[in-house]
A and B are shown apart, each in its own frame.
Chain A
Amino acid sequence: MYNWFKNLNKKLVSFYAIIAFFILWEVATRLHWLDTQFVPPPSVILAEAWKLVLNGQIFIHIATSLQRTFLGFGLAIVVALPLGFILGGWVPAVSKFLTPLFNSLSQINAFTLFPLFLILFGIGEGAKISIIFWAAVWPILFTTIAGVQQVDPLLIKAAKAMGAKGVRIFLQVVLPGAASRLATGIKTGMTMAFMMLIGAEVMGAEAGLGWLIQNSKKNYNIPRMYVGLVTIAVVGLIVSYLLDWLEKEIITWKEVSADVKI
C-alpha cells in the first residue's frame, strides 16, 4: 500500500507545482487579489472553454490553425528534405559554399519578414503560410544536411562492396543512418512552425487560434482570450507528443549507446 503511494507520488511530482499554481490562481482571483477583469479565475476560463467545445467553435479554430501549420510545415519538408539530401550527400562542395548564405538567411527571423511576405504573397493565406514555411525550413534543412554528412562512410562503402547501387544505398543506408537527426530537425521545425503560426494569425485572419485571441480581446471577452492561450499550449503539446511517438514507432533502430556492455 505504502509502495503504491510512493510510486504515485513519484509520477505526480512533476505536476504538483502546476496544480498548486492553478489552485493559487483560483484562490487569488476569488479573494480579489488579482483584478478579475483582466485575470479571470481558472474555473471561469474552463467554463468558457467548455462552452466553446459544446458549440464546436473551438474545433473549427483548432482545425484552421493546424491546417495552416501543416501546409507551411509540409511545404518546408518537401523543400528541405530533398534539398538537404542533395546538398549533404551528393554535392557537399556546393553545400559548403552555400552554408554561409543559408546561415545568414536562417538567422533572419520569420516574423521580421512578415511585412515583406505580405507584399510578395498577398494578404491571404500566402503570407501566413510563407512565414511558417520560412521558420520551419531552416532547422529541417540544416539537420538533414548534417544528418546525411555524418552517416558512417564505412557503411556506404560496405554496401557498395556488396553490390548495392544508388537508390538502394540511399534508402537502406543513408536514410536510416540520418533518420534520428532528421527526426530532431523535423520536431524543431514543427515547434518553430507553431510559434510563427500564432504570430501570423494574430496579425490578421478570420479564424484560427491566434485570431480567437485577438478577436476575444477586441470584444472584451477576456476569459475567451485565455481559452485561446491555453488551447494553443495544449495543442502544441499534443502535436509534439505525437511527433515523439511517431519517431519511436518509425525509428526502431536507434543506435546502441557506446557504454552499453555487450
Chain B
Amino acid sequence: MSKKSNQFVKSFKKVAYSSISILLFIAFWQLSSSIGILDRAIIPQATDVFYEIFKKVSSGVLLFHAGLSFKRAGIGFLYALIIGVPVGFLLGGVFRTAAKVLMPLLKLLEKLNPFALFPVFMMLFGIGETCKEVLVFWVCIWPILFHTISGAESIEPLMTKSARSMGASGSRLFFKVTLPATTPDIFTGIKLGVQIAFFMVVSAEIVGSTAGLGWFIWISQRNYQIISLYAGTVFIAILGLIINKIFTKLESRLLVWKQSAFEVAE
C-alpha cells in the first residue's frame, strides 16, 4: 500500500516540478502587464485572459467551437485510420514489391505542402465541411500508412513461422500474431496523425471557415477583440497539450509491452 502512495507522491512531485516554469511564465506575464510594461492594447493581462477562457467555456461558446473542430478532425482522422491501416498491412505484409515501387511516389505526395493543397482542395470540394475533412484525411493518412507499413514489414518472420507451425492461419494468425506485433508502430502513426489532425483543422479554419476554434481566433483578431483572441489561442494550446499528453501516455503503455517482450527474449 505504501509503495503505491510513494509512487503517487513521486509522480505528483514530478508534475509539480515541471509545472513550475510554466506557472512562473504566467506569473511573469501577469506581473509585467499589471505593472504596465506590456502594452495592454496588444498584450492583455493574464488574469483577464484566463477569466475570458472561463467565461467562454462556461457559456458553452468555446466548447461548441471545439466540438466542431474535433468533429471535422475526427471524421478526417477516422477515414485515414480506416483506409490507412488495412492498406498499410496489405502493402507491408502481402504486396511487398508493390510497396517498394509505390514508396517513392507516396513519399513525394506526403511532402506536398498541406497549406498549398488547401486552396486546391477548396476548389475541388467547395468551402464546406468536406474540404476540411479531406484535408485532415490527407494529412493523417501518411503517418498512419507509413508506420503501418513499416510495422508490418518489421514483424519477426520467426514469430509468424512458429505460429504457423503450431497450426495458426488466416484470421487467427492475423489477430493473435501480426496485429499485436505491429500495434506499437501503428500507434505511433496514430499519435502523429492525431496531433497533425488537430493542428491542420485549426489552421484550415483560420484560412476559411464560418465556425470552429480556428475561426474563433481569426474572427477575434479581425474584430480586434484582443482578450478573446488570447483566450482562444491559449485554449487551443491547452487542448493541444492535453491531446498530446493523452496519446503519449497511451503510447508508453503499448510500447512497454512490446519492449518487455524483447527483454524476455534476451
Task: Report which A residues bind B (CB closer than 8 A).
Answer: 13-18, 20-21, 38-39, 97-101, 104, 107-109, 111-116, 118-120, 194-196, 198-199, 202-203, 209-210, 213-214, 217, 222, 225-226, 228-229, 232-233, 236-237
Contact = CB atoms under 8 A, between A and B. Distances in A.
B176 to A, nearest CB: 34
A18 B107 CA distance: 10
A214 B229 contact: no
A120 B21 contact: no
A194 B220 CA distance: 27
Interface of B: 18-22, 24-25, 42-43, 100-105, 108, 111-120, 122-124, 199, 202-203, 206-207, 214, 217-218, 220-221, 226, 229-230, 233, 236-237, 240-241, 244
A96 B165 CA distance: 51
A28 B91 CA distance: 25
14 contacts: A17-B101, A17-B102, A20-B105, A38-B123, A112-B202, A112-B214, A113-B233, A114-B206, A116-B221, A116-B229, A198-B115, A199-B207, A202-B207, A217-B123
A236 B199 contact: no
Given A116-B217, A202-B207, 5 more contacts: A100-B21, A228-B116, A229-B112, A233-B111, A237-B111
Contacts of B21: 97-101
B194 to A, nearest CB: 12
Given A101-B25, A119-B229, A229-B117, A107 B105 contact: no
Contact of B42 (A21, A109, A120, A198): A120
Contact of B108 (A109, A222, A228, A233): A233
Nearest to B204: A111
A196 B207 CA distance: 13
Nearest to B199: A109
Contacts of B229: 115-116, 119
A99 B226 CA distance: 29
Given A104-B22, A112-B233, A115-B217, A233 B113 contact: yes
B65 to A, nearest CB: 13
* Residue from B101, B104, B116 whose CB has the most chain A CB atoms within 10 Å: B116
A36 to B, nearest CB: 13
Given A210-B116, A225-B119, A236-B111, A104 B241 contact: yes
Nearest to A15: B104
A222 B18 contact: no
Nearest to A226: B120
Nearest to A237: B111
Contacts of A214: 119
Given A112-B237, A113-B233, A194-B113, A225 B108 contact: no
Given A104-B241, A107-B241, A198 B111 contact: no
Nearest to A200: B115
Given A15-B104, A111-B199, A202-B118, A236 B113 contact: yes
A18 B108 contact: yes
Contact of A195 (B100, B115, B123): B115
Per CB-CB distance, the 9 closest pairs between chain A and chain B, nearest first, are A115-B221, A100-B18, A101-B21, A17-B105, A199-B115, A14-B104, A198-B115, A111-B203, A108-B237
